[in-house]
């Protein structure tokens, strides 16, 4: 199942510093997730000035339960970088300029 995750960082004065300090652990965790599941697309959400304020991910997990297990251990969640998280099922049709199902 494909899921689109939209996650916004906190808006407190330490939010950016918290994100940047946790980012190496987040990226290391993403490499681990990519060994088991598909990360179709991922990146940062930015404000008008280009500063990061959140993340977006399109991921393929066998079930919502496995996605939830990933979120429970995601450093951006455990370290409270992401303060608002929305998960929706989706169907990515075009990936890397190739038409999917």
CATH code for the domain of 66: 3.30.70.1060
Total domains present in the chain: 1
* pLDDT digit string, tens, across residues 42-61: 999 999 999 999 999 999 99
pLDDT of residue 7: 98
Residue at 14 is within a domain = yes
pLDDT of residue 101: 63
Who wins on pLDDT, 77 or 96? 77
Residue at 42 is within a domain = yes
Task: Name the DSSP class of 63.
Answer: -
Residue at 72 is within a domain = yes
Give the domain range for residue 43: 2-92
Q: What percent of the chain has pLDDT over 90?
A: 91
Query: Which residues, 6+ apart, have CB-to-CB distance to 20 below 8 Å?
Result: none
39, pLDDT greater than 90: yes
Mean pLDDT within 82-90: 98
């Amino acid at each position: 199942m494909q899921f689109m995750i939209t996650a916004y960082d906190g808006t407190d004065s330490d939010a950016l510093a918290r994100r940047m300090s946790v980012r190496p652990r987040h990226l290391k965790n993403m490499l681990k997730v990519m060994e088991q599941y598909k990360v179709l697309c991922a990146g940062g959400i930015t404000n008008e000035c280009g500063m990061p304020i959140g993340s977006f991910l399109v991921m393929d997990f066998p079930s919502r339960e496995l996605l939830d297990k990933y979120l429970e251990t995601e450093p951006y969640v455990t370290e409270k970088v992401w303060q608002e998280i929305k998960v929706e099922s989706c169907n990515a049709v075009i990936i890397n300029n190739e038409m999917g199902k």
